[in-house]
A = this chain, B = another copy of it.
């Protein structure tokens, strides 16, 4: 692949902007076509020059990454959106995924991961860093804040077990991990199937991951 990937960087921190672009220019496949400190300018910029990937911070004044992504998708703009952030907030991740963002990773990600992410989304793929994925699925079980008047009243134990099911553990393995009987795990599993109104493991996992998106 020799075609260069046109990247537009958006971040309100100049220092980060510099660091990021210096990393990107070192890659022969990537071409930084512009850097902006205000997300509101992105729309205008895109009118003039085509861009393959917009790399942006999630938290910025005036217009944050979520809004920016929403704007771009709303206007049916081709450019892919890759969001960077310092924090790993499940709510934000949820909004981004819901908004159809193409990738998401932490600012402390390695150079390689960033480049991989850019190339992945540029070719139509999705890239969510492992940490983000993990945190996100974890957050689906956290009994902490979030609230949002969650419909499924899953107990703490049920969430715990659902979490492990999603992590591909068998009932036996879960039983060993939690120091309980396999019977108990299966009972919880039965209740989960019933509560979530799904038929099998596939439904449990699907529901678990998509739950936040459906509402």
Contacts and interface: CB of A to CB of B under 8 A. Distances in A.
Contacts of A167: 202
Nearest to A129: B112
B116 A198 contact: no
A209 B212 contact: no
B210 A133 contact: yes
A198 B168 contact: yes
A200 B126 contact: no
A201 interface: yes
A128 B210 contact: yes
Copies of this chain: 2
Nearest to A1: B149
A116 B133 contact: yes
B210 A168 contact: no
A30 B198 CA distance: 33
Residue of A165, A205, A211 contacting most chain B CB atoms (<10 Å): A205
Contacts of A200: 168, 170, 201
Contact of A126 (B113, B145, B201, B211): B211
B205 A201 contact: yes
A146 B123 contact: yes
A89 B147 CA distance: 35
A130 B146 contact: no
Contacts of A203: 168
A142 interface: yes
Contacts of A145: 124
A210 B165 CA distance: 16
Nearest to A211: B126
Interface of A: 1, 112-113, 115-116, 119-120, 123-126, 128-130, 133-134, 137-138, 141-143, 145-146, 149, 165-168, 170, 198-206, 209-212
